[in-house]
């Protein structure tokens, strides 16, 4: 029974049109992102100007490219985006894009963005999805490559990955602060002047709670409502409105727009084909099938969709058990699903409030959940000569890096090691580094984040819980 269900849901033929749509949209959005970084001079600001970079655990060997290397990297990412969009050398392009973009993403923790993490994963998924077998340069050159149908797992894998930020974004909001309207009760009043009409409600308590619980419910219910045909259009309308509002409220880059276009993946796989055929933009690779898909009216569109499904029905696999290759695909599918579920939940293995300790915070789809106001001071002490120096993080870090580091214990430790090395270069082999950090989380009274008596220079960089992080009162 299990194998039959798997065959029906994951390995039955599905219209490739929706994968072609996603391939084009993905490439176009990434090209836009590269353009933004060039025009706004963000490449220099984030990767060339800083003298120190905060690395991820296990990736401290990754460094920015020297000289103008980061400009060339973004240029390559832009070119690969075009290649993906038009389906040129698709397999090679997606592989190179994944490594180039992920490398850029892992260079500096201060540039962690949930949508960058999402793009990295999606680009990895695209490597294995045959989105280039229609309406592409590859399929134009190689007619044997052309097809109208792909295994349904290709679509479901993308749907799963797109649904992950929604669902776990909702799970992350089930916490005391969010349910009490924080930190929105701090942010919305400050944003009120930007919205002449709607902004009048931003200072109202009821609106803050309405916004908080609406966001929570939309994240949790997005995927079920998108999967249910009767509620799909309504859910898409609400999510589109929500994303557009977020794009105006918060500086979250391409994320809202990417999610709007990606959410259309939950609609019928043939919808892009129907729209294209309506405007008579055809590909002659499968004339017998496409000839029946030339609707000029809504009724004919429905009839054409029925004909397409009839064709798919005839192509359904007749076997009743999984082949060896299908078992391999299913195993990889399950491994990927388990990884995507475990990563966002790993923070529960750490003690304390994750928004305070930040342990397990990254890669968990915790989006716009906390507001930290932090004051930080570093002290270097040499027991040999009995002298103490107060150091300003701005001596080596950009304002953006200082802002991101101040409330992040793992990054505070990294900078402590960096400072210790700087003093050792000056001849202070016995140097000790301590830090005094007062932080206010979501409007609470400020309190110490880190034990000021701990010598950070001798603390190891680890993913294990850190005893020197003080608990949140």
Is there a contact between 109 and 415 (Cβ–Cβ < 8 Å)? no
pLDDT at residue 288 tops 90: no
Q: What is the pLDDT of residues 387-416, one digit of tens each?
A: 999 999 999 999 999 999 999 999 999 999
145, 16 Cβ separation under 8 angstroms: no
Alpha-carbon distances, residue 278 vs 18, 85, 345, 447 (angstroms): 16, 22, 45, 63
Q: In terms of C-beta density within 10 A (0-12 exposed, 13-18 middle, 19 or more buried), how is residue 462 classed?
A: exposed
- Return the pLDDT at 407: 92
Residue 275 pLDDT grade (very low, low, confident, very high; cuts 50, 70, 90)? confident
pLDDT in tens, 418-469: 999 999 999 999 999 999 999 999 999 999 999 999 999 999 999 999 999 9
Of 85, 87, 79, 86, give the one whose Cα is nearest residue 38: 79
Beta strands in 132-280 (DSSP E): 149-151
Regarding pTM above 0.85, the answer is yes
Kindly report the average pLDDT of the chain as a whole number: 90
Q: Render pLDDT for 9-42 as a digit per residue (tens, 0 to 9).
A: 788 899 999 999 999 999 999 999 999 999 999 9
Backbone angles phi, psi at 15, to 5 degrees: -60, 130
Q: Phi and psi of 152, rounded to 5°? A: -60, -25
- Sorting pLDDT into bands at 50, 70 and 90, what band is 5? low
**pLDDT tens-place string over residues 302-311:** 565 565 555 5
- Residue-level pLDDT at 329: 86
List b or e across 88-117, with b for residues whose CB sees 16 or more CB atoms inside 10 angstroms.
bbbeebbbbbbebbbbbbbbbbbbbebbbb
Q: Write out pLDDT tens, residues 171-210.
A: 999 999 999 999 999 999 999 988 888 889 999 999 999 9
CA–CA distances in Å: residue 17 to residues 223, 267, 283, 437: 21, 11, 11, 54
User: Nearest to residue 208, comparing CAs of 194, 189, 193, 224?
Assistant: 189
Q: How far apart are CA 168 and CA 160, in angstroms?
A: 12
* Residue among 151, 180, 117 nearest 364 (CA): 117
Q: Which helix (H) or strand (E) holds 327?
A: helix 324-345
Q: What's the burial of 18, exposed, middle or buried (CB within 10 Å: 0-12/13-18/19+)? A: buried
Whether cis (ω within 30° of 0) applies to the bond prior to 183 is yes
User: Which strand (E) or helix (H) includes residue 377?
Assistant: strand 372-382
């Amino acid at each position: 029974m299990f194998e039959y269900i798997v065959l029906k849901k994951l390995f039955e033929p599905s219209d490739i049109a929706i994968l072609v749509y996603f391939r084009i949209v993905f490439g176009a959005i990434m090209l836009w992102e590269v353009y933004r970084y060039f025009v706004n001079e963000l490449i220099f600001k984030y990767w060339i100007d800083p003298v120190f970079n905060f690395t991820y655990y296990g990736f401290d060997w990754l460094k920015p490219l020297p000289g103008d290397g980061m400009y060339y990297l973004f240029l390559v990412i832009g070119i690969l985006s075009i290649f993906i969009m038009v389906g040129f050398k698709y397999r090679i392009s997606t592989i190179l894009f994944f490594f180039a973009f992920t490398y850029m993403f892992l260079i500096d923790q201060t540039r962690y963005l949930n949508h960058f993490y999402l793009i990295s994963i999606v680009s990895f998924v695209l490597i294995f999805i045959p989105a280039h077998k229609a309406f592409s340069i590859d399929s134009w050159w190689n007619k044997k490559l052309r097809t109208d149908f792909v295994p349904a797992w290709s679509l479901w894998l993308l749907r799963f990955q797109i649904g992950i930020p929604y669902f776990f974004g909702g799970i992350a909001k089930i916490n005391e602060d969010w349910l009490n309207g924080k930190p929105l009760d701090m942010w919305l009043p400050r944003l009120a002047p930007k919205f002449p009409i709607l902004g009048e409600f931003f200072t109202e308590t009821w609106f803050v709670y309405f916004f908080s619980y609406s966001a929570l419910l939309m994240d949790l219910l997005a995927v079920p409502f998108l999967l249910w045909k009767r509620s799909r259009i309504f859910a898409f309308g609400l999510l589109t409105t929500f994303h557009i509002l977020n794009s105006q409220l918060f500086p979250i880059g391409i994320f809202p727009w990417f999610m709007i276009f990606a959410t259309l993946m939950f609609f019928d796989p043939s919808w892009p084909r129907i729209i294209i055929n309506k405007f008579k933009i055809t590909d002659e690779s499968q004339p017998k099938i496409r000839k029946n898909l030339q609707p000029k009216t809504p009724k004919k569109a429905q009839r054409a969709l029925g004909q397409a499904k009839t064709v798919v029905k005839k192509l359904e696999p007749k076997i009743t058990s999984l082949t060896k290759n299908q078992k391999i695909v299913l195993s990889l599918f399950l491994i990927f699903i388990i990884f995507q579920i475990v990563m966002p939940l790993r923070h529960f293995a750490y003690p304390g409030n994750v928004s305070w300790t930040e342990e397990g915070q990254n890669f968990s789809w915790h989006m716009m959940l906390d507001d930290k106001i932090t004051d930080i001071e570093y002290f270097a002490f040499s027991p040999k000569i009995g002298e103490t120096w107060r150091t300003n993080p701005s001596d080596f870090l950009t304002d953006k890096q200082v802002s991101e580091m101040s409330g992040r214990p793992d990054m505070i430790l990294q900078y402590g090691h960096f400072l210790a090395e700087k003093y050792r270069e000056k001849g202070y082999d016995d140097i000790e580094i301590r830090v005094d950090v007062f932080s206010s989380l979501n409007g609470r009274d400020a309190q110490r984040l880190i034990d000021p008596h701990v010598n950070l220079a001798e603390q190891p960089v680890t993913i294990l819980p850190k005893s020197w992080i003080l608990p949140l009162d």
